[in-house]
A and B are shown apart, each in its own frame.
Chain A
Amino acid sequence: MALAAVPAAFVAVFFAYPVATLLVRGIGLDPGRLLDVITGSRFLKVIWFTTWQAGLSTLLAGTLAVPLTWAIANRQFTGRRLARVLVTVPFVLPTVVVAGSFIGLMDRFGLDQGTIRLRHTVWAVLLAHAFFNIAVFVRSVGGFWTQIDRRPEDAARTLGASPWLAFREVTLPRLRPSIVAATSVVFLFSFTSFAVILLLGGPRRSSIETEIYRYAVTRSDISTAAALSIVQMVAVVSLVVANGWLQRRVAGRQGLVADRAVPAQTRRQRTRLVTMLAGTALLLGLPLAVLVERSLASGGGYSFANYQALGERVRLLPISAADALVNSLAFAVVAAGIALVIGGMASLAIVHGTRSVSRVLDLGMLLPLGTSAVTLGFGVLISLDRGVLDLRGSWWIVPITQSLIAIPFVVRGVVPVLRAIDPALREVAATLGAAPARVRREIDLRIGARALATGVGFAFAISLGEFGATSFVGRRSDLLTVPLAIQRLLSTPGDLLRGQAMALSVILMLVTAVVVFVGDRLHPKAGGML
Chain B
Amino acid sequence: MTLSIESLTVLYGDKVAVDNVSLDIAVGDVLALVGPSGCGKSTLLRAIAGLVEPAEGRVEWQGRDITHVPTHQRGVGLMFQDHALFTHRDVADNIGFGLKMAGVGAGARAVRTEELLVLVGLEGFGPRSVEGLSGGEAQRVALARALAPEPALLLLDEPLASLDRARRIELNIELARLLRELEQTAVYVTHDQDEAFSLADDVGVMHQGQVLRVGSPGDVWRDPQFEIVARFVGHEAMIERDGQRFAVRPDAVSIATSGELVGRVKTCAFQGDRYALTIDVDGGPWRLFHSVAVEPGSMVRLSLDPTRLARITDI
Contact = CB atoms under 8 A, between A and B. Distances in A.
A432 B51 CA distance: 12
A439 B77 CA distance: 16
A431 B82 contact: no
Q: A424, A432, A442: which has the most chain B beta carbons within 10 Å?
A: A432
Interface of B: 46, 49-51, 70-78, 80, 82, 84, 86-89, 97-98, 101-102, 145-146, 149, 151, 155
A252 interface: no
Contact of B84 (A425, A433, A438): A425
A29 interface: no
B88 A446 contact: yes
B101 A438 contact: yes
Nearest to A447: B88
A430 B51 CA distance: 9
Interface string A457-481: 0000000000000000000000000
A522 interface: no
Q: A-side binding surface: helix, strand, loop or mixed?
A: helix
A443 B72 contact: no
A392 B74 CA distance: 53
Contacts of B102: 433
B145 A432 contact: yes
Given A427-B51, A436-B72, 18 more contacts: A422-B82, A427-B78, A427-B80, A428-B80, A428-B146, A429-B86, A430-B71, A431-B51, A432-B72, A432-B77, A432-B145, A433-B102, A433-B149, A434-B101, A435-B72, A436-B70, A438-B101, A447-B87
Nearest to B154: A431
Chain A interface extent, by class:
10 to 19
A434 B80 contact: no
29 contacts: A424-B80, A425-B86, A427-B51, A427-B71, A427-B78, A428-B78, A428-B80, A428-B146, A429-B86, A429-B97, A430-B72, A431-B49, A431-B51, A431-B72, A431-B77, A431-B78, A432-B72, A432-B98, A432-B101, A432-B149, A433-B72, A433-B73, A433-B75, A433-B98, A434-B72, A435-B70, A439-B72, A443-B86, A446-B86
Nearest to B153: A431
A410 to B, nearest CB: 19
Contacts of B77: 431-432
Nearest to A446: B88
Contacts of A429: 72, 86, 97, 101
A432 B87 CA distance: 16
B93 to A, nearest CB: 10
Nearest to B87: A447
Interface in A404-446: 422, 424-425, 427-436, 438-439, 442-443, 446
Nearest to A428: B84
B76 to A, nearest CB: 5
Contacts of B76: 431
A2 B36 CA distance: 43
B288 to A, nearest CB: 43
B84 A431 contact: no
A433 B101 contact: yes
Contacts of B145: 428, 432
B88 A431 contact: no
A422 B101 contact: no
A489 B139 CA distance: 64
Contacts of B70: 430, 435-436
A434 B77 CA distance: 12
A339 B229 CA distance: 58
A447 B76 CA distance: 24
A427 B101 contact: no
A446 B72 CA distance: 19
Contacts of A446: 86, 88-89
Contacts of B51: 427, 430-431
Contact of A424 (B84, B97, B146): B84
Given A430-B71, A430-B72, A424 B98 contact: no
B49 A432 contact: no
Nearest to A424: B84
A428 to B, nearest CB: 5
A433 B49 CA distance: 11
Contacts of A425: 84, 86
A426 to B, nearest CB: 9
A137 to B, nearest CB: 35
A428 B74 CA distance: 12
Q: B71, B76, B78, B145: which has the most chain A beta carbons within 10 Å?
A: B71
B116 to A, nearest CB: 13
Nearest to B84: A424
Contacts of A432: 72, 77, 97-98, 101, 145-146, 149
Nearest to B89: A446
Contacts of A428: 78, 80, 84, 145-146
